[in-house]
Chains A and B, each alone.
Chain A
């Protein structure tokens, strides 16, 4: 387990946020960690599950940072599925 900083974008938000995730986190957890900094704060919550998009592709919920080839400070976008 290692802390892994990413650039997080929350769908509908206005800014790119710095989010430390863990390289063993599954994408469901990564999505929650990024969304925490915007949804319900600046972006209205929706009753839909959160997904993570990386380089234009939606990642599987059980994929991990280490398994995706994501590099530190890559951009991960959290979108509503």
Chain B
């Protein structure tokens, strides 16, 4: 049997587009599942992916990746590497698995929707690989933690978290349902694969894999690195979709889709990655601060890509670069203080050496954020650690579902008022952490207005009894699962090295 070079048959076999005659376009590609935005079907057929792969190549590559990955997992499982991980890194890993693993399965649903309702055969071909990728990621990121359950039982949150009403998971579900589970194929290509994966996770996974190797977490490093290679491929569905919209004169549509999801992704990214990079990763293994990472990879590289494709920076860009200075420091304080509401043990990350690093990376940190840790540290040293624990809840944003930290932005000199924004709509009050979060809500109130935040549920009688213990039970957290100080308050007793000894 003659073997043709791939270039001689690839375009023919992937481009099985044809004019519909037995059904209408609306029947084959319902607007609900695949918005055309007024672009003609034949125009979608010009969709051309930058990275081409055949099914045979795909299977070969993936089998090789899994063989390597499971070899590492097998060896590491018989070692003491896991037990010796730094407590801060352990916090980052537990948070990651819970927030991401089942979300990968959901992303598989999104990819499968594009594999059926993508408006070009070439795109549906790529999305099929994407669906297989995301299924793989979901399986890997539940299997790896499952293997270590005897060492850390809360690794079961890799599977459990998405099925709870823990506040952070409500935030994650709210975002991911909007981005893919409840999204149409065309919007999803812009919002999941271009905005979220190209803009955020692809680069984040690269950095996290490198950090994992540095701290000695070979298992997690190999896992994340393997996943990233898939992400880098299927994330490229966004660019050709975006080009078709722009070329058809629909730049405003593409810009709106980008702007809405970029802000939403930023908020959860700051919560998860901001804490991991600036507080949980051991000091000696940090390469970039979170802000430096954002500056280099998102604000420069991704923004250049956005402009190269004919779009503009989102309208709130100044507010984004403003928040990069302070918002994740506030989120870290909140997660630490409300640590019984999370399934990992947050470390404070505020020893004198760590504070010096934070001050260097974020000039003014000691004056704006260090003072909270001064009060909490004094309470610990005075024998009152209970004063570092909550007796009420923070109010959360009705868009991003993350606690309102506007007062921190005001205290740090980045906001003109400590007050959140409000919207009274049809007899109900909605509160927002920022102008872009309010704007996202107002773009499609029908999509969001029925959702109850964790605070709405608390006040509305959904959570019973309406007490802290009642709310923790509602979030699925037993006393054994609730977060505790990751270093048993060692940070509060740590002293700075004497000058000249280090």
Chain A residues within CB distance 8 Å of chain B: 5, 7, 9-10, 12-19, 36-37, 40-44, 71-73, 75, 77
Assess A16 versus B420: contact at CB under 8 Å? Given A5-B459, A41-B375, A41-B379: yes
Assess A18 versus B388: contact at CB under 8 Å? Given A41-B379, A77-B418: no
Known: A16-B406, A41-B379. 11 other contacts (CB 8 A): A7-B431, A14-B372, A14-B405, A15-B334, A16-B420, A18-B455, A41-B388, A42-B337, A44-B371, A71-B429, A73-B429
The distance in angstroms between the C-alpha atoms of A25 and B392, with both chains bound, is: 19
A15 lies within 8 A of B375 (CB):
no
Q: Which residues of B have CB within 8 Å of A17?
A: 392-395
Which residue in A18, A19, A71, A75 is a CB contact (below 8 Å) of B458?
A: A18
The distance in angstroms between the C-alpha atoms of A77 and B429, with both chains bound, is: 18
Q: Whole-angstrom distance from the CB of B340 to the nearest CB of chain A?
A: 15
A18 lies within 8 A of B407 (CB):
no
A18 lies within 8 A of B404 (CB):
no
Q: Is B408 an interface residue (CB 8 A)?
A: yes
Name 28 A/B residue pairs within 8 A (Cβ), A-sorted: A7-B395, A10-B407, A12-B411, A13-B411, A14-B330, A14-B408, A14-B411, A15-B394, A15-B408, A16-B405, A16-B406, A16-B407, A16-B420, A17-B392, A18-B394, A18-B458, A18-B459, A40-B379, A41-B337, A41-B379, A41-B387, A41-B388, A42-B376, A72-B429, A73-B429, A75-B419, A75-B420, A75-B422
The distance in angstroms between the C-alpha atoms of A47 and B265, with both chains bound, is: 43
The distance in angstroms between the C-alpha atoms of A9 and B429, with both chains bound, is: 18
Residue of B nearest to A77 (CB): B418
A-B pairs, 5 with minimum CB distance: A14-B408, A16-B404, A42-B372, A16-B395, A15-B394
Interface string of B411-430 (1 = CB under 8 A from A): 10000001110100000010
Q: Which residues of A have CB within 8 Å of B333?
A: 14-15, 42
Which residue in B374, B387, B404, B431 is a CB contact (below 8 Å) of A40?
A: B387
Residue of B nearest to A10 (CB): B407
The distance in angstroms between the C-alpha atoms of A77 and B394, with both chains bound, is: 14
Q: Which residues of B have CB within 8 Å of A5?
A: 459
The distance in angstroms between the C-alpha atoms of A55 and B374, with both chains bound, is: 31
Q: Is B403 an interface residue (CB 8 A)?
A: yes
The distance in angstroms between the C-alpha atoms of A49 and B390, with both chains bound, is: 24
Prevailing SS type, chain A contact patch: loop
Interface string of B325-355 (1 = CB under 8 A from A): 0000010011001000000000000000000
Which residue in B391, B407, B420 is a CB contact (below 8 Å) of A14?
A: B407
Q: Whole-angstrom distance from the CB of A72 to the nearest CB of chain B?
A: 8
Q: Whole-angstrom distance from the CB of A6 to the nearest CB of chain B?
A: 10
A16 lies within 8 A of B403 (CB):
yes
Q: Which residues of B have CB within 8 Å of A12?
A: 371, 411
Q: Which residues of B have CB within 8 Å of A42?
A: 333, 337, 372, 375-376
Prevailing SS type, chain B contact patch: helix
Q: Whole-angstrom distance from the CB of A13 to the nearest CB of chain B?
A: 5
Residue of B nearest to A75 (CB): B419
The distance in angstroms between the C-alpha atoms of A10 and B411, with both chains bound, is: 11
Assess A44 versus B394: contact at CB under 8 Å? Given A7-B420, A75-B419: no
Interface string of B258-299 (1 = CB under 8 A from A): 000000000000000000000000000000000000000000
Q: Which residues of B have CB within 8 Å of A41?
A: 337, 375-376, 379, 387-388
A9 lies within 8 A of B407 (CB):
yes
Q: Whole-angstrom distance from the CB of B323 to the nearest CB of chain A?
A: 14
Q: Which residues of B have CB within 8 Å of A13?
A: 407, 411
Q: Whole-angstrom distance from the CB of A10 to the nearest CB of chain B?
A: 8
The distance in angstroms between the C-alpha atoms of A44 and B418, with both chains bound, is: 18
Q: Which residues of A have CB within 8 Å of B431?
A: 7, 73
Q: Which residues of A have CB within 8 Å of B419?
A: 9, 75, 77
Residue of B nearest to A34 (CB): B392
The distance in angstroms between the C-alpha atoms of A37 and B459, with both chains bound, is: 18
Q: Which residues of A have CB within 8 Å of B408?
A: 14-15
Q: Which residues of A have CB within 8 Å of B387?
A: 40-41
B330 lies within 8 A of A15 (CB):
yes
B395 lies within 8 A of A18 (CB):
yes
* Residues B457-502 near A (CB distance < 8 A): 458-459
Interface centre among B376, B406, B418 (most CB of A within 10 A): B418
Which residue in B369, B371, B407 is a CB contact (below 8 Å) of A15?
A: B407
Which residue in A10, A14, A37 is a CB contact (below 8 Å) of B334?
A: A14
* Residues B356-392 near A (CB distance < 8 A): 369, 371-372, 374-376, 379, 387-388, 390-392
The distance in angstroms between the C-alpha atoms of A64 and B394, with both chains bound, is: 24
Q: Which residues of B have CB within 8 Å of A44?
A: 371, 374-375
B392 lies within 8 A of A18 (CB):
yes
Interface centre among A13, A36, A44 (most CB of B within 10 A): A13
Residue of B nearest to A12 (CB): B411
The distance in angstroms between the C-alpha atoms of A9 and B411, with both chains bound, is: 12
